[in-house]
Structure 1
Amino acid sequence: MARPSKPTTQDTLDSLSAARLREFLTDELAEDAKMRERFVKRFGEPGAAKPSFRSKLDSAFAGMSRQDSYFGPDFGEFLEAAGERAGAGGRDEAIRMYQDICESIYDHMDDVDDSDGIYGDAAGEALVEMVACVNRGKPDHAPKRPYIRYLYRGYMGDEYGFDRHYERALMDLCTRQEDREYLGELHENRERPDRHAHTDLVRFIKSGIRPQDDRQWR
């Protein structure tokens, strides 16, 4: 008896409902900045906010010498723009804008002088506001999962001292026990068991208790 053939990609697409496909895309786009950029370029309207916002962020670094970078671009205007978008009801777009702020800063860290921490602090503020946007909708656990993965990936992959900002954002986001359990699964299955093995985040995963003194975040 012939074995049934495996379904092709086209077969799978044909069998999916629009709702399930949208759910998959939402999860994947939340985690992958390059995929978001390709998606918007392909399907977005000309002059859509996402690419122009990111390009404005990147252009703020253009032509800046390392000495000039000590004072940094004015990230306040970008944070304000994202906040205004959130206030106007564009929660998902605002979340992407906050992600763009953090990612643009991170991508330029090799070119700047962050001895005063202005870049890290701006990235941290963007992450805090991003999480506030997510939590403002009081979502159940499932809609939070892609954002938990996004933040955890940043936490584990950080090379510039942003991990404390990702750590705080994860604690702000994981308001339910099932959020912490999922975060615990990610941490348990991390590729580098030696990395972040004994941290405030590990204690938070186990107990739900955060650092008492907010100065620890500064």
Structure 2
Amino acid sequence: MLRAFLARELAADPDLERRFHSFLDTSDLDVYELRDEIESKYGYQSTPNFTTYEDRAESYIEKGRYRDATTIYRAMFEAMRDHLHEFDPHWGGFEHDETFQDAIASYATAISEAALPHEEKREYIEYCFDQWLDEHEEGGFPQHFREALWELCTTEDDYRYWQSLLRDRIDERLDPDRLYSGQYDENTDTWRRGDLTTPANEEELLDGFTETAWMRGYVELLDRINEQTELGAILNRHYPASRHLCLRYARLLAEECEHEAAITVAEYGTEAFSGSDTIGLREFLVDQYEETDADAFRDTMVGLFVERTDWPYYEQLKTATPDDEWEYVVDTIVDRLDSRWDADTIIKIYLRENRIDDAFETVTNARDLDLFEAYIHQLGNHDPAAYFDAYRRKIKKAAADASRRKYYTQL
């Protein structure tokens, strides 16, 4: 009778059934057997049918058997990992890599949906942590396991356990003097603040990509559990190691009203690192400069817009610039864009500023036929004869090119 009652109640309440199976967690799946089974289905330039395994995992999740689902996902990505470089992206390689990434994400999601208490979740945190480290050491795909860890960890106990695992590994590589020097006392949780912008000596800085990636993860965890004292001491010594540490330290200094030091650190980062890697640092500097250094604010904003052509930068710069200076700023932007052969953005700027003659001249002098077609409705009526005469001459010249003759003759 009890069995019949239980079966009836579970059938009537799918959510209760899922929680019941999750609580019992009676799994008879073996990850190693499943992994070997998947491995055996690889052939020359051919992959197993992963849909079968994905559907099976989904059916377990619907029944609340989350651990069975994670076993399948783990077997999938462990089997796939050794085959990631075997497939050409044009012949199924992209789909294979995407399935690998999805299996890791689904593994973490299934554990998260199981709502396990911290003690039961620790084994999964440790497993993903070990995979994250191994992928760093082997030059694999650590970012996928890093994302999985952030999904798995949802409570302070989770984050502190992850932190303890990472701290043990960091301690194996860095002795306390190299990690903190005399700037942090773990016993009293105090940061001995000296010169805020002088980092560790060169021989004490982090060594290579792996140590830097570990330290970035450790800093993010200190942030999450609000260990600001240790965070400050580490960032003070190691901010030159990466743009991420540099930006976080600059923000920490700004939060503590050390604005001059924050600017110094961020400016160091824009010089030490390159290109798009410094977008976050330059956006931080824009906020710092806006009230204190109009020239630096303008130059930084111009640089961001020219590099990214994101119009919110343009509008922010226009709002902050006095009307009598704006034309000069626009001309500065145009000169910078002209050196990058970006006629399209120059035309868009002139149209925004209602400088129709300048926009017309830019189109008709451009070497790009696509621009004539793109702006025919906006600029063709400004001087139709001149516009179409220039268009005709460009088409005639292009048609003389043997490689493009057929297309432009038809046009």
Alignment TM class, shorter chain as reference? 0.5 to 0.7
What is the alpha-carbon distance in structure 2 between the residues aligned to residue 160 and residue 148 of structure 1? 21
What is the alpha-carbon distance in structure 2 between the residues aligned to residue 192 and residue 73 of structure 1? 40
Q: Deviations over 1:172-206 (max 9, x none)?
A: 00111111111111111115565253466334312
What is the alpha-carbon distance in structure 2 between the residues aligned to residue 51 and residue 100 of structure 1? 7
Alignment partner, residue 6 of structure 1: none
The answer to whether the 8 Å contact 1:124/1:162 transfers is no
Matched letter for residue 212 of structure 2: A
What is the alpha-carbon distance in structure 1 between the residues aligned to residue 151 and residue 127 of structure 2? 14
**Is residue 201 from structure 1 mapped to residue 201 from structure 2 by the alignment?**
no
Q: Deviations over 1:9-49 (max 9, x none)?
A: xxxxxxxxxxxxxxxxxxxxxxxxxxxxxxx9xxx6xxx67
The answer to whether the 8 Å contact 1:171/1:201 transfers is no
User: What aligned pairs does 1:101-116 form with structure 2 within 5 A after superposition?
Assistant: 101-109=76-84, 112-113=86-87, 115=89
What is the alpha-carbon distance in structure 2 between the residues aligned to residue 120 and residue 79 of structure 1? 15
**Is residue 170 from structure 1 mapped to residue 156 from structure 2 by the alignment?**
no
Match of 2:128 among 151, 163, 176: 151
The answer to whether the 8 Å contact 1:124/1:166 transfers is no
Cα drift, residue 100 of structure 1: 0.3
The answer to whether the 8 Å contact 2:30/2:71 transfers is no
**Is residue 180 from structure 1 mapped to residue 159 from structure 2 by the alignment?**
yes
Cα drift, residue 144 of structure 1: 0.9
Q: Deviations over 1:144-180 (max 9, x none)?
A: 1100110011000013532010000000001111111
Q: Choose between structure 1 and 2: higher helix proportion.
A: 2
What is the alpha-carbon distance in structure 2 between the residues aligned to residue 79 and residue 90 of structure 1? 14
What is the alpha-carbon distance in structure 1 between the residues aligned to residue 100 and residue 222 of structure 2? 27
Matched letter for residue 147 of structure 2: R
Cα drift, residue 83 of structure 1: 1.4
Matched letter for residue 41 of structure 2: A
What is the alpha-carbon distance in structure 2 between the residues aligned to residue 84 and residue 153 of structure 1? 28
- Specify whether residues 197 and 188 from structure 1 end up closer, same or farther in structure 2 by C-alpha distance, changes over 3 A only: farther
> Which range is displaced more, 194-203 or 96-105?
194-203
Gaps of 5+ in 1: 1-39, 212-218
Gaps of 5+ in 2: 1-26, 175-206, 226-243, 245-411
**Is residue 142 from structure 1 mapped to residue 119 from structure 2 by the alignment?**
yes
What is the alpha-carbon distance in structure 2 between the residues aligned to residue 114 and residue 166 of structure 1? 24
Matched letter for residue 40 of structure 2: S
Give the aligned length.
158
**Is residue 54 from structure 1 mapped to residue 35 from structure 2 by the alignment?**
yes
- Specify whether residues 155 and 138 from structure 1 end up closer, same or farther in structure 2 by C-alpha distance, changes over 3 A only: same
- Specify whether residues 140 and 198 from structure 1 end up closer, same or farther in structure 2 by C-alpha distance, changes over 3 A only: same
What is the alpha-carbon distance in structure 2 between the residues aligned to residue 176 and residue 114 of structure 1? 41
Cα drift, residue 53 of structure 1: 3.7
The answer to whether the 8 Å contact 1:109/1:160 transfers is no
What is the alpha-carbon distance in structure 1 between the residues aligned to residue 166 and residue 61 of structure 2? 31
**Is residue 87 from structure 1 mapped to residue 62 from structure 2 by the alignment?**
yes
CA RMSD after TM alignment: 3.0
Matched position secondary structure for 2:140: coil
> Which range is displaced more, 163-172 or 199-208?
199-208
Larger radius of gyration: 2
Cα drift, residue 99 of structure 1: 0.7
Alignment partner, residue 24 of structure 2: none
- Specify whether residues 119 and 186 from structure 1 end up closer, same or farther in structure 2 by C-alpha distance, changes over 3 A only: farther
Matched letter for residue 177 of structure 1: E
Cα drift, residue 105 of structure 1: 0.7
What is the alpha-carbon distance in structure 2 between the residues aligned to residue 142 and residue 202 of structure 1? 21
The answer to whether the 8 Å contact 2:84/2:97 transfers is no
What is the alpha-carbon distance in structure 2 between the residues aligned to residue 198 and residue 51 of structure 1? 30
Matched position secondary structure for 1:197: helix
TM-score, length of structure 2 as denominator length: 0.34
What is the alpha-carbon distance in structure 2 between the residues aligned to residue 117 and residue 161 of structure 1? 16
What percent of counterpart residues are identical?
A: 24
What is the alpha-carbon distance in structure 2 between the residues aligned to residue 181 and residue 50 of structure 1? 28
